């Protein structure tokens, strides 16, 4: 399961260069900035619609996360008369995405039915939940040294996510083998191994896993978020030079970094 949301960011973000924008702490500035973001996301949705038969499951998961984010802000903006036009525009975009995502399952069933079966829970409406509260990362959690980067096995990460979801052979949700426990909690990691460690605990939270290792989910999320943001800070300091851009995008897409739990009642 690689880079959920990365395709979206690549399509939606402008080049990583400073640009004059109004201040977001005023209503006028917020409306302008949100309008630019929605325009970019509408283009990303058009991309999905035009290429729907060929979009892989990772991309579809990213768009499902986007739909959840749109639903959350749409409800918040609906209460503010000044933002109500943006709320209506956001709802239309979320509804269009939902319809496209339902259609995408047909094509995924044709292209890779086993992969679809294993990760189908992550495509269901309601699986992805926005955090109620957000927090600043804690710089004291940044690793003093990093392990040398080795070849990252996406297959191993996928196997652990399948165990987590309980969609593998003879497995139950939230029960993970020692191999996954070691892989997903190893300290001093960087690069894609680090981002997949955070991905694992975010999925555990969405799945509702709370027992055993997952009693410590918030601790691991805080540690991984702090280190991912430190890597992003370093990428920014060198002007997003290649090859840091791809990892910067992935870290930004994954870093939900909630304070306590995802989903508001």
Strand, helix or coil for residue 14? coil
**Tokens describing residue 16:** 């990583």
Task: Tokens 């917020």: give the residue.
Answer: 30
Classify residue 71: in a domain, yes or no: yes
In the predicted model, what is the mean pLDDT of residues 217-245?
A: 88
d(Cα 153, Cα 156) in Å, to the nearest integer? Answer: 5
d(Cα 84, Cα 3) in Å, to the nearest integer? Answer: 32
> What total number of domains does the chain contain?
2
In the predicted model, what is the mean pLDDT of residues 64-89?
A: 90
Let me know whether 10 and 113 are in one domain: yes
Classify residue 133: in a domain, yes or no: no
Let me know whether 117 and 157 are in one domain: no
Contact 116, 109 (CB under 8 A): yes
In the predicted model, what is the mean pLDDT of residues 46-62?
A: 92
The pLDDT of residue 101: 96
Let me know whether 116 and 143 are in one domain: no
- Output the average pLDDT for the chain: 84
Classify residue 128: in a domain, yes or no: no
The band of 6, judged by pLDDT with boundaries at 50, 70 and 90, is very low
Domain termination residue (choose one: 63, 93, 123): 123
d(Cα 181, Cα 114) in Å, to the nearest integer? Answer: 24
The pLDDT of residue 265: 40
The pLDDT of residue 12: 45
Higher pLDDT pick, 17 / 144: 144
Classify residue 263: in a domain, yes or no: no
Classify residue 260: in a domain, yes or no: no
Let me know whether 145 and 95 are in one domain: no
Let me know whether 56 and 151 are in one domain: no
Could you report the per-residue pLDDT of 196-230, keeping only the tens digit for each? Answer: 999 999 999 999 999 999 999 999 999 999 998 89
Handedness of CA 221, 225, 227, 228 (dihedral sign): positive
Q: Which domain holds residue 81?
A: 6-123
Let me know whether 36 and 86 are in one domain: yes
Let me know whether 117 and 146 are in one domain: no
106's CB contacts (< 8 A; 6+ apart) are none
Let me know whether 89 and 169 are in one domain: no
d(Cα 72, Cα 87) in Å, to the nearest integer? Answer: 10
Could you report the per-residue pLDDT of 93-128, keeping only the tens digit for each? Answer: 999 999 999 999 999 999 999 999 999 999 998 999
């Amino acid at each position: 399961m690689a880079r959920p949301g990365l395709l979206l960011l690549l399509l939606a973000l402008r080049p990583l260069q400073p640009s004059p924008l109004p201040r977001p702490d005023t209503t006028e500035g917020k409306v302008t900035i949100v309008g630019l973001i929605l325009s970019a996301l509408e283009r990303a949705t058009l991309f999905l619609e035009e290429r729907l038969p060929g979009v892989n499951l990772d991309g579809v998961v990213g768009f499902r996360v986007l739909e959840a984010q749109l639903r959350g802000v749409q409800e918040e903006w609906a209460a503010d008369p000044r933002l109500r036009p943006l709320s209506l525009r956001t709802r239309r975009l979320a509804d269009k995405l939902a319809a496209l995502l339902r259609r995408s399952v047909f094509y995924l069933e044709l292209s890779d039915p086993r992969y679809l079966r294993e990760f189908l829970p992550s495509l269901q409406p309601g699986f992805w939940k926005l955090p109620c509260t957000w927090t600043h990362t804690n710089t004291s959690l940044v690793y003093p040294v990093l392990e040398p980067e080795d070849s990252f096995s996406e297959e191993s990460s996928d196997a652990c996510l399948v165990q987590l979801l309980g969609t593998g052979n003879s497995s139950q949700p939230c029960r993970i083998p020692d191999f996954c426990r070691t892989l997903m909690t190893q300290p001093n990691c960087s690069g894609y191994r680090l981002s997949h460690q955070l991905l694992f605990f975010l999925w555990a939270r969405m799945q509702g896993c709370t027992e055993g290792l997952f009693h410590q989910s918030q601790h691991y999320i805080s540690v991984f978020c702090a280190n991912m943001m430190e890597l992003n800070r370093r990428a920014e300091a060198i002007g997003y030079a290649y090859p840091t851009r791809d990892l910067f995008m992935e870290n930004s897409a994954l870093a939900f970094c909630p304070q306590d739990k995802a989903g508001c009642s």
